[in-house]
Amino acid sequence: MKRNLFVLLSLLVLASLVLAACGGGAEAPAEETAPEATEAPAEEAPAAEEPAADFVGNSLMAADCDSTGIIKGVEATGQYEVTFTLCQPDPAFLSKIAFSVYGIYPEEWIAATAGDGTRTSEGLEAPVGTGPYMLSEWNRGESITFTANPNYWGETPAADTLVFRWSSESAARLLELQSGTVDGIDNVGPADFDVVRDDANLSLNERPALNVFYLGMTNTFAPFDNQDVRQAIAKGIDRQRIVDTFYPAGSEVASHFTPCSIPGGCEGDDWYDFDAAAAREQLAAAGFPDGFSTKIYYRDVVRSYLPQVSNVAQDIQAQLKENLNIDAEIVVMESGAFIEESTAGRLDGIYLLGWGADYPHPTNFLDYHFGEANPQFGVQSPTYFEPIAAAAQIADPAESAPLYAEANNALKEFVPMIPVAHGGSGTAYRADVTNQQASPLGNENFSLMDPGGRDVYVWMQNAEPISLFCADESDGESLRACEQVVEALYAYETNGTAAVPALAEVCEPNASLDVWTCTLRQGVTFHDGSTFDANDVVATFTMGLDASSPLHAGNTNAWEYYDYLWGLMNKPSE
Amino acid sequence: MANEEEKIATLDAEGLTLQSTSLWQITWRRLFRRRSAVVGMIILAILTFIALTAQWLAPYGFDEVLIGVEDVKARELPCIHLLGCPAEKPQHLAGIDGNVRDQFSRLLYGARLSLMVGFSTVTFAIIIGTALGALAGYFGGWWDNIIMRFMDVLLAFPSLLLAIAIVTVLGPGLINALLAIGIVSIPAYARVMRASVLTVREMEYVSATRALGGSNMQILFLRILPNALTPLIVQGTLGIASAILDAAALSFLGLGAQPPTPEWGSMLGAERNQVFTAPHLVFYPGFMIMLTVLSFNLIGDGLRDALDPRLAHSS
């Protein structure tokens, strides 16, 4: 008896310790600074067709443009009308707003799952949206199951059940597809393209190379603080050889950071040609005639921009040794840790990273990576971040072209990174799946595909989503799962990159492109039964943009896309 | 007494010739009579030869990238002239690996690593394990309790898991992997040693040495250790096999040898996704690991039988 009591007591002590350890950290003063902005005076909504007698439109409005990024305010100017006021003209507004990270959640759900500093586990794992599929179960480590949304405003999904599975091994994915246990797989291994082509039961869909693989260098670490060293490495790596040997057909050597298939992407001079002798000379002149020792960091995960990670890393290691006598040690890191360390600029060597387009505009590539605030390459140079920032405000591609040319030439001069390749990749499906997709942006829409009349559609991708609260995620494997459940105001066309209306019927700008008015779709309901209206949009953007709002609670609270593409509002001063 | 019986057996067989034969001579002779052990020794001899002469045997360097040097593609199938591969193509006995290097050369260099891994970890573990086991067995009491309980703790973890944990702390790399495997295999030797010491300690000749005024060190090293050696030899030979396997497993997981080191386990791991499209890249390293482990196991088994006096008649 005594013994039992003792055990019980020690268990209790242990449990309280664990609780204290987990819950203690988040003591952010969330309550005291409820922004007055969100509680705007009740504005008389202009009467819509619906008898919206007691609709009270909310709004989010920054005090001035100094305390926010691009978006100054989001207002519900009617039950089905939202107005975005911008601090600067944004020609890419529609392309950006269509990105699934800005998917709309119900107002009540946002508040209910806001948690204390970070979103509750329900918020992270059971999103509520308006999409064609509803989340039914997430079996951690196993699979995610979705069921068709019977009240979907668009076309009802062909398969009643959608299952997401994952495997990091391309051989395993292909094997599952061949044995018929899955209907579609992502990222066919580069060596397996022909296997899929030759199999009558399967069909291959090549995905355009809207991505870039680059070698990052952080210029706050020696010897990468020396521009000549960076230039020497850029000249001393044979990128053609890497693409020829390790990439599937449809890939190309990167002439610029932004792929040329993106309008305005490759203005300015082409990247350095491979020249080992010149590279060695330049390295010697910079004070390293015998090379130096460094590290090559990467994460062992397959992405479409880098289909054979360890082979490429080893080849770069061999090339650095052969061409520049640089001894590089290969360091493999865990994916999450690698992203965290590399994007924060804490890796003291060369790191292998890439980027897949979210929307087809140079801003998606250049502004994200080479904005003044991004520490991933160390100290950014004004020679490129100034023209990039200026170009982002210009709608006319012809007018912004010289600025992008200037920026790209400055990037070539400064070498914060070495763009290597735009990698082709592909999806494969069983031959009887209709409307097969290989989206250049990686957002395949499964509700439009009919898996040969079967009730269950099984999709296998590279990795398990990190969370399903995609407003605060940047991982493509997570976003694809979210896109089935949550919709944004616009969406990208199937297999394409053009923005098409989704939850908004239309968004129209004023003449100076700094006020966008969106008319929302009516009669749309969320999966929890609530009706979609303008206040849901305002609440979603308050959650994402307003750093002082108690709703601004995410997974890691990095809010990368809200921050880098729009700029957060009321950021706490550092 | 086993030795007596053996002598009588020899007398019978050789017609009353009596000559003194040492334990090692007898063991050696018995070992050669076992066919499986001989096979094991032949394989090991070949592997040792390969390891020693890899730089002359290998047609290419283990890190020599053939892009632009020869007209070969990544993961090309083996090209063996004897088997009908056209003579104008360069010969690659085991094909080309994912980084366009000659797989055969890498396999040869890999023998060096694997044998080095096996011998060094087991030597490390035997030295430490024997010392600990001897201390525990000879002095008993507190020594015994503390040392053997610590060994029990080490044994309580699955060995590979513990090795992974150690490598995670020390950081990946071949040397750290060796250290981890060495540490993990200490308890086996400590236990074997302690058990032998416990039996030998009570023998009359040990008491005699003690009565003659021999110091603890003299008794331990000159009287007890030589007589407790046989089980250690068997355990050690079999231990090399498992050490090689563990090292290959660690390298497969990316925790052991780092690229471009041609370690068989890491070669296997690097190409695991191409098992259907380029099976030769997975088959050969696996086959080499199998051969090496098999040779040590055969020798170990043979040694155990040869060193066991109770099996004297059957051999």
Per-residue pLDDT tens digits for A389-430: 898 888 788 888 999 999 999 999 999 999 999 998 889 999
Q: For residue A504, give the H/E element and its range.
A: strand A504-509
- CA-wise closest residue to A357 among A439, A302, A428, A415: A439
Domain boundary assignment for chain A: 9-167+425-566, 211-422
Chain B interface with A: residues with Cβ < 8 Å: 63, 65, 67-68, 73-75, 98-100, 172, 254, 258-260, 270, 272-278
Asked whether the beta carbons of residue B277 and residue A241 sit closer than 8 angstroms, the reply is no
- Taking CA–CA distances from B99, the nearest residue in chain A reads A311
Asked whether the beta carbons of residue A330 and residue B274 sit closer than 8 angstroms, the reply is no
CA of residue B231 relative to chain centroid, distance = 15
Q: Looking at residues A373-392, what average pLDDT do you find?
A: 91
- Taking CA–CA distances from B272, the nearest residue in chain A reads A171
Q: DSSP of A340-384, one letter per residue? A: HHHHTT---SEEEEEEE-SSSSHHHHHHHHHSTT-GGGSSPPHHH
pLDDT the model gives residue B247: 92
Query: Which amino acid is residue B109, in one-letter code?
Result: Y
Cα(A469)–Cα(A260) distance, integer angstroms: 32
Fold of the CATH domain A211-422: Dipeptide-binding Protein; domain 3 (3.10.105)
Asked whether the beta carbons of residue A332 and residue B98 sit closer than 8 angstroms, the reply is no
Cα(B6)–Cα(B12) distance, integer angstroms: 10
User: Which of A175, A315, A330 lies nearest to residue B65, judging by beta carbons?
Assistant: A315
**Strand spans (E) along A265-349:** 293-299, 327-333
Task: Output the average pLDDT for chain B.
Answer: 88
- Taking CA–CA distances from B276, the nearest residue in chain A reads A171
Q: For residue A422, give the H/E element and its range.
A: strand A417-422
User: pLDDT digits over A291-301, tens only?
Assistant: 899 999 999 88
A48 pLDDT higher than 80: no
End-to-end CA, chain B: 17
The per-residue b/e assignment along A423-435, b for 16 or more CB within 10 angstroms, e otherwise, is bbbbbbbbeebee
CA of residue B78 relative to chain centroid, distance = 30
Question: A248 contacts in B (CB within 8 Å)?
Answer: none
- CA-wise closest residue to A368 among A490, A214, A494: A214
Cα(A357)–Cα(A479) distance, integer angstroms: 13
**Omega of the bond prior to A419 within 30 degrees of 0, cis?**
no
pLDDT the model gives residue B313: 53
- Taking CA–CA distances from A167, the nearest residue in chain B reads B273
User: Which of B65, B254, B258 lies nearest to residue A318, judging by beta carbons?
Assistant: B65
Asked whether the beta carbons of residue B276 and residue A330 sit closer than 8 angstroms, the reply is no
Maximal CA-CA distance, chain A: 84
Q: DSSP of A526-570, one letter per residue? A: -TTSPBP-HHHHHHHHHHHHBTTSTT--BSSS--HHIIIII--BS
Task: Output the average pLDDT for chain A.
Answer: 87
- CA-wise closest residue to A317 among A296, A293, A291: A296
User: pLDDT digits over B110-165, tens only?
Assistant: 999 999 999 999 999 999 999 999 999 988 889 899 999 999 999 998 889 999 99
Domains of chain B: residue spans and CATH: 2-65+108-314 (1.10.3720.10)
Cross-strand partners of A185: A428, A460
Asked whether the beta carbons of residue B273 and residue A246 sit closer than 8 angstroms, the reply is no
Q: Which residue has the tokens 């019978």?
A: B12
User: Which of B99, B270, B274 lies nearest to residue A191, judging by beta carbons?
Assistant: B274
- For residue B112, the distance in angstroms to the closest alpha carbon of chain A comes to 21
Question: B274 contacts in A (CB within 8 Å)?
Answer: 171, 189, 191
- CA-wise closest residue to A293 among A267, A257, A258, A317: A317
3-state secondary structure of A136: strand
A74 pLDDT higher than 60: yes
pLDDT the model gives residue A31: 42
pTM for the full predicted model: 0.76
Q: Looking at residues B3-27, what average pLDDT do you find?
A: 68
B27 pLDDT higher than 50: yes
User: Which of A174, A300, A329 lies nearest to residue B258, judging by beta carbons?
Assistant: A329
- Taking CA–CA distances from B72, the nearest residue in chain A reads A245
- For residue B168, the distance in angstroms to the closest alpha carbon of chain A comes to 12
* Whether A257 contacts A365, CB under 8 Å: yes
Size of interface A-B (CB pairs under 8 A): 54
Question: B74 contacts in A (CB within 8 Å)?
Answer: 245-246, 311
pLDDT the model gives residue A17: 53
Question: A310 contacts in B (CB within 8 Å)?
Answer: 259, 270
CB-based contacts of B204, cutoff 8 Å, min separation 6: none
Q: For residue B111, give the H/E element and its range.
A: helix B103-139
Interface test with B, best of A179, A187, A247, A315 (most B CBs within 10 A): A315
Cα(A465)–Cα(A140) distance, integer angstroms: 10
Question: B259 contacts in A (CB within 8 Å)?
Answer: 310, 313-314, 317, 330
Question: B73 contacts in A (CB within 8 Å)?
Answer: 245
